[in-house]
Each structure stands twice: as C-alpha cells, then as structure tokens.
Amino acid sequence: MKEQTGNIADLIESGGALLGIEFGSTRIKASLIAPDCTPLAAGSHAWENQQKDGIWTYDMSDVWQGLAACYAALARDVRARYAVDLTRVAAMGLSGMMHGYVALDCDGQLLVPFRTWRNNITGDACAELTRLLDFAVPQRWSIAHLYQSILEEQPHVPHIARLTTLAGYVHQKLTGEHKLGVGEASGMFPIDPHMGDWDASRVAQFDALIAPRKLGWTLRRLLPEVLPAGCEAGRLSAEGARLLDPSGKLQAGIVLCPPEGDAGTGMVATNAVRPRSGNVSAGTSVFAMIVLEKALSRPHEEIDIVVTPDGKPVAMAHSNNGSSDLDAWISLFGQVAGALGAEAQLDQLYEKLLPLAVEGDPDAGGLLCVNYVSGEHVTGFAEGRPLFARNHDSNFNLPNFVRAMYFASLCAMRTGMNILTEEENVVIEEIRGHGGFFKGGDTGQRMMAAALGVPVSVPETAGEGGAWGMAVLAAYLLRSDRAQSLPDFLDERIATRIGAPVLPDPRDVEGFAQFFARHEQGLSVERAAIKALR
C-alpha cells in the first residue's frame, strides 16, 4: 500500500493526474483522477442559491470564492494522502449546472445577475420560440432567457456582447476562450446533430425575428464556439491559475477540454453515450436522459432534446425539484435530535434515515408529498410551495414519510418519461444512476427502479458525480489513439466500474404507480397553496 501511495504521489507531482471541477447546485466539487480514471483525491465547497428580486441566482463573488475554496480542499486532500503539493495536472475541465443566463458586455462583465436553470420566468418567450423553431424550447434554456429579456425590453439587451452558461463563463475567465462543449451548448440553443454546431437555419430564424428591433447584434456573434469532446478548448492563463489557486502554487499552461454541463458529465460518468443507453442524474434536480436511435415524432414541451458530449441526440426528461425538500426535512430531524440532546452529524442522519424508505408500505401509506421548492415546468408550475398532506387514516410513520419524500422527487421526471415510453415508444433496457440520490446502499436504486420500472445500476463512482465525469473527459482529451470514439474510450476505461443492476420489485412498481396517481391529484392542492401562501 505504501508503494502504491508512493507511485500515486510521483504521478501527481510529475503533473500526470487529471482534474475535473463541477459547479453543482449545492456543492462545488473537484475530482483528481489517474489516467486510468481511478479517483485519487477530492475537494468540495458548499454553496446555495438565493432568490433575489424574484430571480434564482448565485452571486459571482461566491463563484470565485467557492472555486478557490474547493480547489484548496482538493490540494489539502492531496497533501494529506500523498504528502505532495498539487502544482500541475496533465489536463482539466470545468462543468456546471446547464442552461441559465450569463450575459456579458464587451469587457466581459455581467450585465445582469446570473439567472439559473431554476427560474421559470420565460413562458411567453418559450411559447413563441417553440412555434417559430418547431422545437420545444424549455423555460430554463439560455435562448428563452434572452428572448424574454428582449420581449420585456430590458435595458441591458443592446449591450450584450457574449452569451454563455456558468461553466462557459468560468472557462472563459480561466482561459480567455469563449467556447463550450457541444453537450453544454445544446442547453442554450438547438444543435444540428449532423454538423455538431448551432442549428444554422434556426439561428437565421431567430435573427429574422429580432431584426426589426435593431439591437446591434446577431445571435451567432453572441454564442460561444462549439466543440465536441476530445478537442482542446484553451489553456489555463496566469490570471486563471490565480483565480483557481490564490496560493500561487498551481502553474499556468494546463490544457482544458471543452466545458460541459451536468447532463454531459452524467452521461460520461455512467458510460451512457451510445444509442438506447440511458442514465438518470438525481440530486437537487432530477433528470433522465435516453440516447436516441431516431428522432422523436414531434416536439414535446415536457422533453428536452440535447446531445451527448460527442454530439448524439438525447431525449431528456428534466425536473427542477429533486432532493431540496428532503434535505430540508433531514435538517429538521437533526434539530429534533439536538433538542433531545442527541447531536447527530448530517451524514449520520442520511445514513440512518434514508434506508427506512425500504421498510415503508409500497405506496408510502397513503401519504402525499409535493416537493416543489421552485417551479416545475413539466407539470406547469411557475413557482412552488413544498407541502405534505395525509388523510385521517393514512399510515403515518417514519418509513412511509421517507418513502413519500423519495417518491415525490421522481414524479415530475416520471411524467416526462411516460411521454417517451408511451407516446414515442422509446425502448429503455436499463438506467444507470449517479448523484447524491444513490449514495449509501441500494435504497436510491430501489426507489428509482420502482419509479421507472426498469433495472437500475450505479457506477462505483456514483458518489463522485459530475466532477469525476468531467475529469474523465479531460482524460479523453489526452487519449493516445486520436481516432478512438468517446463510447469506445469509456468502454475501455470505466465499463468495469458499473455495478450489478437492481431489478424493479413488482410490489414497489405498483406502489409507486398508486403514489404517482395520488401525486397527480394532489397538484390541485399545490396550486391552491401557491395562491394562498404569498
């Protein structure tokens, strides 16, 4: 073991490791891996969005402070494990929450606060763009935010010089390059999968739509350059190195792969980039992605069409609301424990409480939970009010409560998946999961298998999440065989890391179906709660 640690130390000290960093909804994570994609060290920093003036956002000072804190945690982990300093890596990559709105002026300064994917404030823009482009444009997409700003004649619009995402913004600050990976780009504006670039005809349609407004720019001038996985997307500048590592130890000149979104890193982390493969990323938001064999028969407002990091079309069933309400309840249970004099760490609470869901009644005992912390586009909610309800004769106990929380986090996604399987006849043979939902035993797998009715497998690195997936994309950039495809590379490097699938239990599947029907009826209660609770 000591010899192995010494070899890893030599690898890190010589700059042979790969680095991935992802800006998640609640944590910024860094993952350092070996060329064979084995995790070596990790760092993280907790952060949280805020709603300011009706907009879900993160302050950009938190972006830079959080990035530096995350990297510092990684460097400490490297020092503690291997007794060396982290001064360089072979390649690195950045990922973040997809979609949203980062509008910059000609000096690269923010024109308005960053608008995250969580905002459902672009309904008018989406309705018009969906008709114009014959393409379902979701509310959280960058083009929807841009056009909504145009419709509202917001004063910053004529001054926009560049439009990007959070990952693209950080990448630009670290490298000076206005570029995006094709998967991340597909959450800004439609991509032509045959060309691997912005859909030129739809760009022209949008430009014709806004031309009478004489804004002084065209869409193509604002959008980043699009690159597939495996291409060089810039190098870490001296200024970028200091933003990442204010201590000054990290060297400039590191090559970066194209920045990708959390959807792309999820596909990579689960080795689900070939047609008919699928994965689900479950955390603060929950989304399932199926790589398509053929185009869908028509646009569906509930389904996003994005692409893999190497440009293959993907149908995404996305829900804004995942674990946030469950997290809030777990925190409350921790406060209860503290009031009783039994202090419990947050990790202990999750470890002890979440597995109780397996002991609950198949349908969660007649309980109802709607976990809408924010709006939910799939079911037509512009905002949310988390709520819990029960009948007088419901089986109200802790296992059923936890099970209801689990099930509720999957209902909006199931709505989208029903469209794919029932209306479009999309075949799903197995789902691979990653994200915090799947940490700690097989409870998350069992709940997901119940919700989707298919086997659910989890990679060994499921808890590493998107930061590890981004590091794998950095490794792909340095592949020795330049002709090797991304699917073949993943089969070679990470296929053996996928665990055995958990099969759906028929009782659980039927129980989720009953809960899902109750949840659909309960949405009328949610609508009333939004009106009543202001």
Look at the chain and report how many structural domains it folds into: 1
Report yes or no on 465 lying in a domain.
Answer: no
129 or 275: which carries more pLDDT confidence? Answer: 129
Query: One-letter amino acid identity for 140?
Result: R
Instruction: Please report the pLDDT score of residue 4 as a whole number.
Output: 62
User: How does the average pLDDT of the chain come out, rounded?
Assistant: 93
Domain with 361 in it? 324-458+504-532
Report yes or no on 246 lying in a domain.
Answer: no
Element (H, E) at 315: strand 313-319
Q: What is the pTM of this model?
A: 0.83
Q: What is the mean pLDDT of residues 82-97?
A: 97
Instruction: Please report the pLDDT score of residue 361 as a whole number.
Output: 98
Q: Which residues pair with 91 in a beta bridge?
A: 18, 255
What are phi and psi for residue 490, nearest 5 degrees? -70, -40
Q: What is the mean pLDDT of residues 334-355?
A: 92
Q: What is the mean pLDDT of residues 112-131?
A: 92
Element (H, E) at 447: helix 443-452
Say yes or no to pLDDT of 526 above 90.
yes
Instruction: Please report the pLDDT score of residue 1 as a whole number.
Output: 45
The tokens of 63 are what? 């972006």
Place of tokens 């789902």: 431
- Could you say which DSSP state residue 285 is in? S
List pLDDT tens digits, range 204-230. 999 999 999 999 999 999 999 999 999
Say yes or no to pLDDT of 463 above 80.
no
Report yes or no on 34 lying in a domain.
Answer: no
Distance of alpha carbon 19 from alpha carbon 174, whole angstroms:
14
Tallying the residues shown for the chain, one arrives at: 534
Report yes or no on 207 lying in a domain.
Answer: no
Report yes or no on 292 lying in a domain.
Answer: no
Identify the CATH number of the domain in which residue 362 sits: 1.20.58
Report yes or no on 191 lying in a domain.
Answer: no
Q: What is the pairing mode between strands 91-96 and 260-261? A: parallel
Best CA proximity match to 67, nearest among 55, 57, 59: 59
The tokens of 25 are what? 């909804």
Instruction: Please report the pLDDT score of residue 5 as a whole number.
Output: 65
Report yes or no on 524 lying in a domain.
Answer: yes
Report yes or no on 493 lying in a domain.
Answer: no
Best CA proximity match to 437, nearest among 219, 270, 239, 315: 270
Dihedral sign for Cα atoms in the order 66, 69, 75, 77: negative
